[in-house]
């Protein structure tokens, strides 16, 4: 099971974990918030870009290129902090 150290609403956190895990067929329960995508999970730049594009589509947000997203928690925290509150309640 993944260790949760964020205050992310569970549904958003679960959706982000599902999107990340689906990219490399990793079980979502194996993902930890502190996992580094490239070093620990073997994701390359194309994988990360695909994850970003899917997150942007699913959550109707824009993730600029200069945002440092290296861990699972970085993705979760960014999505939570940039998703409109009405979408978080859904």
Which residues are known catalytic residues? 44
Residue that has been written with the tokens 């925290």 in this structure = 77
For residues 8 and 13, give the distance between their C-alpha atoms in angstroms, rounded to a whole number. 6
Q: Assess contact for 19 and 58: CB atoms under 8 A.
A: yes
For residues 13 and 6, give the distance between their C-alpha atoms in angstroms, rounded to a whole number. 9
For residues 38 and 27, give the distance between their C-alpha atoms in angstroms, rounded to a whole number. 16
Query: Count H helices, E strands: the chain?
Result: 4, 0
């Amino acid at each position: 099971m993944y260790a949760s150290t964020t205050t992310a609403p569970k549904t958003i956190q679960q959706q982000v974990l599902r999107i990340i895990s689906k990219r490399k067929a990793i079980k979502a329960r194996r993902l930890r918030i502190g996992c580094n995508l490239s070093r620990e999970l073997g994701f390359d730049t194309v994988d990360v870009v695909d994850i970003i594009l899917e997150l942007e589509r699913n959550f109707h947000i824009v993730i600029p290129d200069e945002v440092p997203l290296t861990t699972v928690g970085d993705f979760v925290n960014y999505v939570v902090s940039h998703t409109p509150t009405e979408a978080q309640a859904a």
